[in-house]
Amino acid sequence: MKYAGLLVMPAGFFLSIAALVLFPASSAAARAAFVVCGLAVEALGLVVAARGQLEAQGKNRP
Amino acid sequence: MMSNAIVFPESTLAVVLVFLLLATLAPAGLALINAGLGRSRSAAQSLLGSLCVVAVSAVAFALIGASLAGTAGGTSFTFHVAGKSWDWLGAAPFFIRGLAASPSHTQLCVLYQFLAVALAALIPWGSGADRLRLAAGCAVAALGAAFVFPVLAHWVWVAGWLAQLGVNFSLGAGFLDPAGASLVHMTGGLSALALVWIAGPRKGKFPQGGFATAMPGHNAVYILFGSMLAFAGLTAFNAAGALLWLHAPLAALPITAINTLLSASGAVLATLAVTRIRFGKPDASLCANGWLAGLVASSGCAALVSPPQALAVGVVAGIFTPLLVEFLELAVAIDDPSGAITVHGASGLWGSLAAGFFSAQSGQLVAQLIGIATLLGLVLPLLYLLFRIVNRIVPLRVDVDGERIGMDLHELGGGAYPEFVIHRDDSYR
């Protein structure tokens, strides 16, 4: 689960970068929305990774 | 490959040099804070480790890192996508060959990066307090200083693709990070998160079926005095960064320093109020964290915002810092003795965001968001992978016995306070 979350995070980064290539400077709102979506994907990945870490840590508690 | 040259007036170079000499107080302050927030039986290892981490990061950056970071006006590697040039890696000579013959401004830029990489390397060292081995701390610092930080420094400071977002994609002035809010602090905070995830919490911190055990820092004086040293150092970082990376005039420096002070002041007062409301009394170590969070946030925007905006940036940082520290410990079970993930990671992110939020330039906020997305989405998984590999070769964590007797005795053979009685830890009974 943790690794899945960590793998999702670069996907969010590439989504943000794709906004630069896909949208021209004139469509600033669409570009900004795409970048925010990329960040949201990263945040989702971070949450999944944190939950995975929490589960793994819970199993190893003394 | 491409190159571009920047020329600074001589008076500016002299001022930058003075500020960079003052900026050395920032790592000193951070080292003191890290030692104070750890346990007394690990204090000597913490401070010696700080020296070693700074030394290793300096050597690694000189050997490899400075080459990958490149220099302003130097050569770099680029590729072309969608008709735009993407400058992604520096190509300066290894072991800073030829730097002595470079123009003064190039040398000062490299000196700034040396200090910044030392500061970034110290951040995860504090989070691994009381269980991170000296050798592992050095290995992590070497890796960060040789490969991770230099590539990011090239992207942000040395006309890399993030800095060129304005020219290539009409996004304001490109990604702005005048004093390392994202490059130094956010990267350091993310390193701390990856390290803490791999090393795990201190023994007894999160007992099975119980609440998190409070493990307060052993010396509040170190923590608070370190915060004052960090103020001097990070103010100098902000001023030097404004001159070197934003090419601000000397006349802009007083406002930059005032903004730094206002941000830190707003943050510490906000944290004081929050801890007073939450716990009935102000918490010294959390207030120090709040002060530092304000300084960190200011490093992203002190040279770019007005004084009222700097105060607002600090207040926001001061409000979320104690709440996030508590959330990470109680809800996410992250054992971060120095609070670096919040203080450096989250506040660095907020400082970078604030630079875009308060900017009047069109597209600046999007440029800042792309910079943040790059660090968060690319750097955290990369650091986690690298630290996993390091952990296979040089185990990050000390063994159980070493943790029980303390890092000082285990790694150095003697404590920081040999004449004091160190009380035993009930969690090992």
**What interface predicted TM-score (ipTM) does this complex get?**
0.95
- To which residue do tokens 């123009």 refer? B103
Reported as type and span, the H/E element at residue B90 is strand B84-90
CA distance, residue B160 to nearest chain A CA (Å): 14
- The packing angle between helices B380-393 and B134-143, to 10°, is 140
For the cut 90, the answer to whether the pLDDT of residue B208 exceeds it is no
Q: Which residues of B touch A35 (CB under 8 A)?
A: 366, 369-370, 373
Chain B contact present for A10, CB below 8 A: yes
For the cut 70, the answer to whether the pLDDT of residue A60 exceeds it is no
The four Cα atoms B382, B339, B350, B254 give a dihedral, to 10 degrees, of -120
In the prediction, which pLDDT does B1 show?
Answer: 39
Who among B169, B207, B377 is closest to A25 (CB)? B169
Q: With an 8 Å Cβ cutoff, are A42 and B377 in contact? A: yes
Q: With an 8 Å Cβ cutoff, are A50 and B332 in contact? A: yes
In the prediction, which pLDDT does B415 show?
Answer: 85
How many Å apart are CA B254 and CA B273, to the nearest integer?
28
Chain B contact present for A32, CB below 8 A: yes
How many Å apart are CA B182 and CA B296, to the nearest integer?
9
Residue B206 lies in a domain: yes
Q: With an 8 Å Cβ cutoff, are A62 and B169 in contact? A: no
What 3-state class would DSSP assign to A8?
Answer: helix
Q: With an 8 Å Cβ cutoff, are B369 and A53 in contact? A: no
Q: Which residues of B touch A33 (CB under 8 A)?
A: none
If one counts the domains in chain B, the total is: 1
Mean local confidence (pLDDT), B162-183: 94
Residue B78 lies in a domain: yes
Chain B contact present for A18, CB below 8 A: no
B257: number of CA atoms within 13 Å, CB side?
A: 11
Geometric angle at alpha carbon B388, from B119 and B95, rounded to 5°: 45
Full-model pTM: 0.95
Could you tell me which of B400, B417, B419 has the C-alpha nearest to residue B42?
A: B417
In the prediction, which pLDDT does B5 show?
Answer: 54
DSSP B84: E
- Write the burial class of residue B249 (CB in 10 Å: 0-12 exposed, 13-18 middle, 19+ buried): exposed
Who among B82, B366, B377 is closest to A12 (CB)? B377
State percent of chain B over pLDDT 90: 84
CATH of the domain at B319: 1.10.3430.10
| Mutation target vs B (from A57, A59, A60; most B CBs, 10 A cutoff) | A57
In the prediction, which pLDDT does B335 show?
Answer: 93
Residue B7 lies in a domain: no
Residue B14 lies in a domain: no
Chain A contact present for B169, CB below 8 A: yes
Q: With an 8 Å Cβ cutoff, are A13 and B207 in contact? A: no
Looking at this protein, which amino acid is placed at residue B382?
L
* Other CB atoms within 10 A of residue B99 CB: 16
**Cβ contacts of B73 within 8 Å, gap of 6 or more:** B3, B4, B5, B6, B103, B106
Looking at chain A, list the stretches that DSSP marks H as alpha helix, in order from N- to C-terminal side. 2-22, 28-59
| Mutation target vs A (from B81, B327, B370; most A CBs, 10 A cutoff) | B370
The radius of gyration of chain A's CA atoms, rounded to the nearest angstrom, is 15
Looking at this protein, which amino acid is placed at residue A22?
L
- Model confidence over B337-375: pLDDT tens digits? 999 999 999 999 999 999 999 998 989 999 999 999 999
In the prediction, which pLDDT does B3 show?
Answer: 41
**Cβ contacts of B264 within 8 Å, gap of 6 or more:** B231, B291, B294, B295, B298, B314
- Model confidence over B370-403: pLDDT tens digits? 999 999 999 999 999 999 999 999 999 999 988 8
Q: Which residues of B touch A45 (CB under 8 A)?
A: 377
* B residues 185-204 closer than 8 Å to A (CB): 197, 200-201, 203-204
How many Å apart are CA B252 and CA A9, to the nearest integer?
38
Mean local confidence (pLDDT), B227-245: 96
For the cut 60, the answer to whether the pLDDT of residue A62 exceeds it is no
**CA B429 to centroid of chain Cα atoms:** 37
Q: Which residues of B touch A1 (CB under 8 A)?
A: none
The four Cα atoms B239, B240, B242, B247 give a dihedral, to 10 degrees, of 140
Residue B243 lies in a domain: yes
Range of the domain at B323: 26-428
Residue B4's pLDDT band (boundaries 50, 70, 90)? very low
| Domain chopping of chain A, boundaries | 2-60
Nearest CA in chain B to A24: B169
Q: With an 8 Å Cβ cutoff, are B369 and A31 in contact? A: no
For the cut 90, the answer to whether the pLDDT of residue B25 exceeds it is yes
Who among A2, A13, A62 is closest to B374 (CB)? A13
| Mutation target vs A (from B380, B388, B404; most A CBs, 10 A cutoff) | B380
